[in-house]
């Protein structure tokens, strides 16, 4: 018997519990990954391949590593068919960003229904089940600031624990991929934005520390309907940066439009993304247009407007869209003894937020750029 205390305190799910066994069997039959993930939001007590939660579908083995973490591996004996790609497709790192979760559901559902045959090792992730269940961006901490070990610096909470585990699953996934020989790593972390954007879909290309930006990857983004790219300007704690910096993965944080509740997304708006990710995991030919600057809105970071004191004032409307640009010499903020005026043609704002602590970024300023 459980007392009230243990009923209300968060617990990991014992995979031998009747309720789990039933839900898991239903998942194997019907492929509803969202439902399974939401039912066991705290995660599983027995995780990784050792939990033996796996089953076969046409041409692939499916393993549930934890709540919201599903490994699918092609099973082919032909050596010519060796998987040459390890692909992470993640969603729900912010729990209320439902469209990406529904994209992952669609691909996972198609694999389990045997409508498509997976050809490359793929790790599908629904990142924050607790936040999904409360329809919030996060419960205690913004999960997408906690990667690259930054989870070690904060107090105990669901997101701290989840970031540490997601790092472990992704790391084991990429490391196991290299056992097959030459493998290219990919990580597409799908989001939707809180605010409007002048360009509805955009991607953040993690800081490459001097490595060139990959034009074929930009062409792939364009084929997914994402032709606005913001080049990262420094290391960060995002999930995509984690995979890029540690596993040389081609990685992006992809913003697909505005946040909406489950069931209210117009999935047709995301069909290019879903189709191209499906093409990637099933090894269907990706017909990509050769990179041309004219097909893109490329931005590079100019710097931050940082809130220094309580006197900080931001002259950007709360509802201002990302990538709104201002004429040169526009006053954007004032603070104790200083002000910020635009200095460059096309200078634009991203992620404005006046409600930050002293010393934190209130706005990221960006300018248009091109690749040579």
Using CB under 5 A, list all residues that contact Zn ion: 94, 97, 191
CB of 88 to Zn ion, least distance (A): 16
Q: Which single residue brings its beta carbon nearest to Zn ion?
A: 191
347 bridge partner residues: none
Between 261 and 359, CB nearer to Zn ion: 261
CB of 145 to Zn ion, least distance (A): 11
309 phi/psi in degrees, rounded to 5 = -140, 180
Between 98 and 223, CB nearer to Zn ion: 98
In the set 255, 275, 285, 310, the catalytic residue is: 255
Sign of CA dihedral 184, 73, 89, 168: negative
Between 71 and 104, CB nearer to Zn ion: 104
Between 38 and 94, CB nearer to Zn ion: 94
CB of 291 to Zn ion, least distance (A): 26
Estimate the crossing angle of helix 239-247 against helix 158-177, to 10 degrees: 30
Between 187 and 191, CB nearer to Zn ion: 191
**Beta strand ranges found along the chain (DSSP E):** 54-57, 60-66, 69-74, 85-91, 121-126, 184-193, 202-205, 228-231, 250-258, 297-306, 313-314, 331-335, 338-341, 348-350, 361-369
Residue matched to tokens 């599983």:
44
Give CA separation, 271 vs 56, 76, 265, in Å: 27, 29, 12
Give CA separation, 182 vs 169, 187, 198, 214, 241, in Å: 20, 17, 40, 18, 22
264 as an active site residue: the answer is no
Question: What is d(CA 44, CA 35) in angstroms, rounded to the nearest whole number?
Answer: 15
Q: Which of 268, 262, 255 is nearest to 37 (CA)?
A: 262
Catalytic sites, residue numbers:
255
């Amino acid at each position: 018997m459980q007392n009230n205390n243990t009923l209300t305190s968060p617990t990991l799910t014992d995979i031998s519990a009747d309720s789990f066994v039933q839900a898991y069997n239903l998942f194997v039959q019907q492929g509803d990954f969202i439902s399974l993930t939401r039912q066991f939001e705290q995660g599983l007590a027995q995780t990784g391949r050792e939990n033996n939660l796996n089953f076969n579908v046409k041409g692939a083995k499916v393993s549930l590593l934890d709540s919201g973490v599903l490994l699918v591996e092609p099973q082919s004996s032909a050596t010519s068919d060796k998987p040459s790609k390890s692909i992470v497709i993640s969603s729900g790192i912010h729990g209320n960003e439902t469209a990406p979760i529904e994209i992952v559901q669609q691909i996972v559902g198609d694999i389990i229904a045997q409508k498509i045959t997976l050809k490359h090792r793929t790790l599908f992730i629904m990142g924050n089940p607790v936040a999904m269940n409360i329809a919030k961006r996060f419960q205690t901490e913004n999960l997408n600031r906690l990667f690259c070990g930054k989870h070690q610096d904060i107090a105990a909470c669901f997101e701290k624990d989840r970031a540490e585990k997601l790092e472990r699953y992704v790391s084991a996934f990429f490391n196991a991929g290299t056992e097959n020989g030459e493998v290219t790593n990919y990580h597409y972390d799908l989001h939707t934005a809180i605010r409007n954007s002048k360009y509805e879909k955009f991607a953040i290309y993690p800081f490459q520390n001097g490595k060139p930006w990959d034009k074929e990857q930009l062409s792939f983004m364009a084929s997914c309907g994402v032709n606005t790219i913001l080049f990262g300007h420094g290391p960060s704690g995002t999930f995509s940066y984690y995979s890029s910096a540690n596993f040389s993965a081609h990685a992006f944080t992809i913003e697909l439009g505005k946040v909406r509740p489950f069931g209210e997304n117009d999935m047709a708006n995301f069909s290019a993304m879903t189709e191209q990710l499906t093409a990637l995991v099933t090894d269907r030919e990706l017909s990509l247009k050769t990179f041309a600057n004219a097909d893109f809105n490329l931005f590079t970071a100019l710097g931050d407007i940082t809130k220094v004191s309580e006197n900080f004032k931001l002259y950007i409307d709360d509802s201002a869209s990302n990538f709104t640009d201002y004429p040169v010499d526009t006053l954007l903020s004032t603070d104790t003894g200083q002000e910020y005026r635009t200095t460059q043609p096309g200078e634009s704002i991203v992620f404005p937020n006046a409600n930050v602590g002293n010393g934190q970024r209130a706005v990221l300023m960006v300018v248009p750029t091109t690749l040579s």
